[in-house]
Chains A and B, each alone.
Chain A
Amino acid sequence: MNPTAWMAWPVVLPLAGAVLALLVGRKGVRVVAGLASVATFAASVMLTWEVATRGVLRQSIGGWGPPLGIEWRADGLAVLMLLTIGVVGPLISVHALDHLGDREDREFLPLWLFVWCALNALVLSADAFNLYVTLELMTLASVALIAVRRDRAGLDAGLRYLLFALPGSLLYLLGVALLYGVYSALDLGLLGQRITPGPVAWVAAALMTLGLCLKTPLFPLHVWLPPTYTGAPTPVTALLSALVSKGSYYVLLRLWLEVFTPILDWQVGQLLGVLGAAAVLWGSLLALSQSQLKRVVAYSSVAQIGYMFLFFPMATVGARTGAVYLVVSHAAAKASMFVAVGNIHQAVGITELGGVQGLAYRMPFTFLAMALGGISLIGMPPSGGFIAKWILLEESIWTGQWWWGLVLLLGGLLASAYVFRILRGSFLPLPPGVKVRSIPLGNELAPLALALIALVLGLVPWFPLELLAVGTAR
């Protein structure tokens, strides 16, 4: 097969799976979704293999090349994201199967396949408009996912997400229109060549960045995140935090790396860095002051997203590597944390932080997952989070901006405070009168598998790092 043909499958297969899953009856949903997941993951692996051996792949959809046609492109960064989505997403859905009810099951799986399709398409897109379309698809499918339970909390959360994510997309679209009007190009590469510093570029960059920061979300635009994350069913929250929020961040990264490079100057970088740093500190402090388990983990996402914006002031290849490594390891670690929280909720029905008392003995895998995931969030070795923190720390010193390193270290200390706040209670003796429902083994193993991925990312980082280097020009 033509190597570039592999590029279509990671998008086509989940889409086909989603459509088919909607058509078959209740019984068939799991089978169809399972087959589609395996097939999509296999296609992602094949594409990764092709990229790893041949280098960057390009494919013009519809037969026209840029500037008219839509170009898809797979480089190291793109396939690393494909793999992350392909591993983390299905593991979360395994957990979702027993967490949600029968009806939700029937709707969750197709919706998740839609999200998967949109994410894969987004990751492979190389033009600004196509990125908009895939972002919008991702947003809409996510809204439906958040409200999948059709209860009050879920509907509220879905609506809130929509209210913030839609303006985000629109701001982005405005920027795209502006760019197209002036430079008559949509392809990221072409735009990057044609763009010149000036009011048009600045306004477009500001609009698009603002929109994407709203969706990701970056402090102080994060206000929608905690209530949305707590309102959504836990597996959905895991998907939102681990993967969906990374979609908009990915676009942001691509834009500043390939299009707005000429205008990414000291002030812009510092501004985004300051916001990121504020997110790290503010998010961690709020996580530390929450009394509800799920909210602790949710606010931790605000902080972790903040780290990813420390890339901008440094703007080196190394810093990009660190930020992407954080995206990947956070996807695994945070998903594991959320899924573990879901398990706890299922087992004892308690959402308060104190509810974990004594549970380490009854749900050892869940708490092991929580501990390993937490270690990655703190950035302690051995974990993917440590590698990311190490790379960013080194870059901050290299570029002479050691204060960002200070933020990283401080954030790690704060993270350890809220992570161990959860863990230490679990070591206490089980209070009398607490009934612990047994939960399916699959539900216990899913978070552990996710946490082990975060661990392995810290033990053999050279593979993802080498993959990431494919197609990095600078």
Chain B
Amino acid sequence: MNTWLPMAVLLSSLLPGLVIFLLAEEQRVPRTLLNLTAAVTKLLLTAAMAWGVFHGRRYETRVTFLPNADLVLRADTFSLLFITLSAVLWFVTTIYAVGYLEGTPHRSRFFGFFSLCVASTMGIAMAGNLVTFFLFYEMLTLSTYPLVIHRGTPEALRAGNVYLRYTLSGATLLLAGVALLYTLAGSVEFTEGGALDGVAGRHVELTVAFALLIGGLAVKAALVPFHGWLPVAMVAPAPVSALLHAVAVVKAGAFGITRVIYDVFGVYLVHDLGVLHPLAVVAAVTILYGSLRALQQGDLKRRLAYSTVSQVAYIVVGVSIFGSVSTIGGLVHLVHQGLMKITLFFCAGNLAEELHVHRVTELRGVGRRMPLTMAAFTVGALGMIGIPPVAGFITKWYLGIGALEAREPWLVAVLLMSTLLNAGYFLPILYTAWFQSPVEPWAPKARRWEVGPALLLPTVATALLSLAAGLFAGAELSPLGWTKLITEREFRP
């Protein structure tokens, strides 16, 4: 068993983050170098760990903490799904953020907290028990708050307030749930198949604990009615939105919900408790509500934000339907949604940065001026709608089959409606951008590319990754292949 690798993965963003805080504002080159070195280091470490886990090796760092709860960082197949996603997207987002924030104030603070965010996400992904999970979950809240209010405008501060109000209330519910479970079960280590066999008979307490835990996690996962913070937090700079929506925050919630269902309670136990179905209904409502609200938004980023509300609920729907096929669909969407949504946010950032375009109606003919950006956007949007071969199709396919297999045909109807709604708010954007002519000629390009390479390359890269995840879904190490590995282990009776 390897004991240092999980710690190293955590430290590879924690330490650079702390160093970055100490750098002076004008030390641009050392800061960028440090950022990129750290991101590459993490990628390499993650790859090494993924290889090991695939071959059945075990990785665990354990530190004595409280009498009945150690601090445990552990890599299993499910953590690696999340870690790999975060490591890859951290790398591209870092490049993007360096380009995006060039010349703006407080960059040391920004990148410092950015790294802490990623470190917290790593901790969440590798947490081996509920207390460790809670610790990093709270650290994530604390380190994203300065990013949300980064611009320091009254609007940003208001958004920060809303963000804190929601997330801290959620954390309080979560803490209550964690404490309740610990007093019931002594200690709750994440275990494939569930860790609560000893107390399986205490239905009332377990149901209360489940409700508290899921209620707390639902805030970050932005399930209706706990989603209110997400559209408001849009005032943050584009790389932060990308981070909030695709990698760190909403995924931490969705990841946590999955952990609770599969590795704390165990899917058979929650099925017996009868709590899965209500959760699936809440998630289905969220899917439709998010799409409907997205349809009403004229602001591009807000439309994307409500689309996130809807799309993250796909993950929750998938994992809360009893059956392995839908679980695969839900889990794989954790990655797919991340890749596609980060592409869309990068594009929105590029448009705002280069042409100061924020509203959908202002996009007329933008395809000719920024073809690569809009091509990437098109890939992301088609993926969200669920058109093959983009990754989103794979998700919807598995979710649909899974719903039928689990005899929940109403869900297929929800998926179909959601797809129509997705098309309803994404296709007009594509139409406006590609087929309408601009009101007035666009400002000429200042450089060779349509935007700076630091903004363009990450955008194109994530678009290609969204395509690749769909095209090569059958490969053993694709997100889908990996998800099947996880699901097999969870459903082993």
Contact with B along A351-363 (1 / 0, CB 8 A): 0000000000100
Question: Which residues of chain A are near B138, meaning CB under 8 Å?
Answer: 380-381, 386
Interface residues of A in 122-164 (CB under 8 A from B): none
Q: How far is the CA of A361 from the CA of B108 in the complex (A)?
A: 11
Name the one of A391, A412, A461, A462 contacting B172, with C-beta atoms under 8 angstroms: A412
State whether the Cβ of A34 lies closer than 8 Å to any Cβ in chain B: no
B149 to A, closest residue via Cβ: A427
**Which of A397, A405, A461, A465 has most B Cβ within 10 Å?**
A397
Given contacts A382-B135, A462-B64, contact A393 B146 (CB under 8 A): no
Task: Give the number of residue pairs across the A-B interface with Cβ within 8 Å.
Answer: 61
Question: Which residues B99-152 have CB closer than 8 A to chain A?
Answer: 106, 131, 134-135, 138-139, 141-142, 145-146, 149, 152
A144 to chain B, nearest CB (A): 40
- A375 to B141: give the CA distance in the assembly, Å: 12
CA distance A382 to B142 in the complex (A): 11
Any A CB within 8 A of the CB of B37: no
For the complex, would chain B's binding face be called helix, strand, loop or mixed by DSSP majority?
A: helix
Instruction: With CB as the reference atom, state the residue of chain B lying closest to A391.
Output: B66
For the complex, is B198 an interface residue (Cβ under 8 Å from A)? no
Interface residues on A, range: 20 to 34
Once bound together, how far apart are the Cα atoms of A108 and B15, in whole Å? Answer: 40
Q: Does B176 contact A (CB under 8 A)?
A: yes
Task: Please measure, in the bound complex, the distance between the C-alpha atom of A381 and the C-alpha atom of B183, giving whole angstroms.
Answer: 19
Chain A residues, Cβ within 8 Å of B134: 381
Please give me the residue from chain A that is nearest to B180 by CB atom: A397
B160-168, B309-317, B324-332 - the one binding chain A: B160-168
Q: Which residues of A contact B404 (CB under 8 A)?
A: none
Tell me the complex Cα distance, A381–B142, Å: 10
Q: Which residues of A contact B182 (CB under 8 A)?
A: 394
A325 to B447, CA, bound (A): 60
- Say yes or no: is A225 at the interface (Cβ < 8 Å to chain B): no
Residues A427 and B142 in contact, CB atoms below 8 Å apart:
no
Interface residues of A in 32-55 (CB under 8 A from B): none
Q: Select from chain B the residue with minimum beta-carbon distance to A425.
A: B157
B179 within 8 A of A: yes
Cβ-defined contact, A429 with B65, below 8 A: no
Proximity string of chain A (1-37) to chain B, C-beta cutoff 8 Å, 1 when within and 0 when not: 0000000000000000000000000000000000000
How near does chain B come to A385, taking the closest CB pair, in angstroms?
12
Nearest CB in chain B: distance from A467 CB, A: 13
Asked if A409 meets B176 with Cβ closer than 8 Å, knowing A375-B142, A382-B139, A427-B146, the reply is yes
Is there an interface contact between B172 and A413, defined as CB atoms closer than 8 Å?
yes
Looking at the assembled complex, report how far the CB atom of B39 sits from the nearest CB atom of chain A, in whole angstroms: 24
Mark interface residues in A394-434 (1 if CB within 8 Å of B CB, else 0).
10011000000100010011001000100010011100000
Q: Which of B106, B149, B168 has the most CB of A within 10 A?
A: B168
Smallest Cβ-Cβ distance to B154: which chain A residue:
A428
Tell whether, in the assembled complex, residue B66 and residue A387 are in contact, meaning their CB atoms are under 8 Å apart.
Answer: yes
* CB atoms of B183 and A465 under 8 A apart: no
Choice from B65, B135, B179 contacting A394 with Cβ under 8 Å: B179
B67: Cβ under 8 A from any A Cβ: yes
Alpha-carbon gap, A394 to B66, bound state (A): 12
| Residues of chain B lying within 8 A (CB to CB) of residue A387 | 66
> B175 is contacted by which of A375, A382, A393, A398 (Cβ under 8 Å)?
A393
B169 at the interface (CB under 8 A from A): yes
Q: A428–B175 contact, CB under 8 A?
A: no
A398 and B157 contact, CB distance less than 8 A: no
The complex places the Cα of A386 from the Cα of B65 at a distance, in Å, of 12
Chain B residues with CB below 8 A from A409, complex form: 172, 175-176
A278 to B180: give the CA distance in the assembly, Å.
24
Interface residues as binary, A417-455 with B (CB distance below 8 Å gives 1, 0 otherwise): 000100010011100000000000000000000000000
Neighbouring A residues of B180 by C-beta, 8 Å: 397
Report the Cα distance A465→B64, complex, angstroms.
12
Closest to B169 in A: A413
Chain B residues near A393: list those with CB within 8 A. 175-176, 179
Chain A contacts for B149, CB-based, 8 A:
424, 427
With a cutoff of 8 Å between Cβ atoms, the chain B residues found around residue A405 in the complex are 176, 179
How far apart are A314's CB and chain B's nearest CB, in angstroms?
A: 12
In the complex, how many angstroms separate the beta carbon of B202 from the nearest chain A beta carbon? 13
Residue A256, interface by CB 8 Å: no
Q: Smallest CB–CB gap between A361 and chain B, Å? A: 8
Query: Residues of A contacting B139 with CB < 8 Å?
Result: 381-382
Contact for B168 among A361, A416, A461, A465, CB less than 8 A: A416
Contacts known (A424-B157, A424-B160); A461 close to B179, Cβ less than 8 A: no
Q: Is A180 an interface residue (CB 8 A)?
A: no
Pairwise interchain contact A429-B152, C-beta atoms closer than 8 A: yes
A224: chain B residues within 8 A (beta carbon): none
Nearest CB in chain B: distance from A375 CB, A: 7
Task: Please determine whether A380 and B152 come into contact, CB atoms closer than 8 angstroms.
Answer: no
A380-B142, A387-B66, A413-B172 as given contacts; A424 in contact with B161, CB under 8 Å: yes
- In the bound complex, residues from chain B placing their C-beta under 8 Å from that of A465 are 66-67
Q: How far is the CA of A382 from the CA of B134 in the complex (A)?
A: 10
Q: Shortest Cβ distance from B449 into chain A, in angstroms? A: 33
Least CB separation from A371: chain B residue: B142
Interface digits, A244-283 against B, CB 8 Å rule (1 contact, 0 not)? 0000000000000000000000000000000000000000
Q: Chain A residues with Cβ under 8 A from B176's Cβ?
A: 393, 405, 409
Do A427 and B135 touch across chains, with their CB atoms under 8 A apart? no
**In the complex, what distance in Å separates the CA atom of A424 from the CA atom of B149?**
8
- In the bound complex, residues from chain B placing their C-beta under 8 Å from that of A361 are 106
**Across chains A and B, which 3 residue pairs bring their CB atoms closest together, nearest first?**
A397-B183, A381-B135, A393-B179
Extra A-B contacts (11), CB below 8 Å, given A413-B172, A420-B145: A387-B66, A390-B175, A391-B66, A397-B180, A398-B183, A405-B176, A409-B175, A409-B176, A412-B172, A424-B149, A424-B161
A sample of 21 inter-chain contacts (CB < 8 A) reads A380-B138, A380-B141, A381-B134, A381-B139, A390-B66, A391-B66, A393-B176, A394-B182, A394-B183, A397-B179, A405-B176, A405-B179, A413-B172, A420-B145, A420-B161, A427-B152, A427-B157, A461-B65, A461-B66, A462-B65, A462-B66
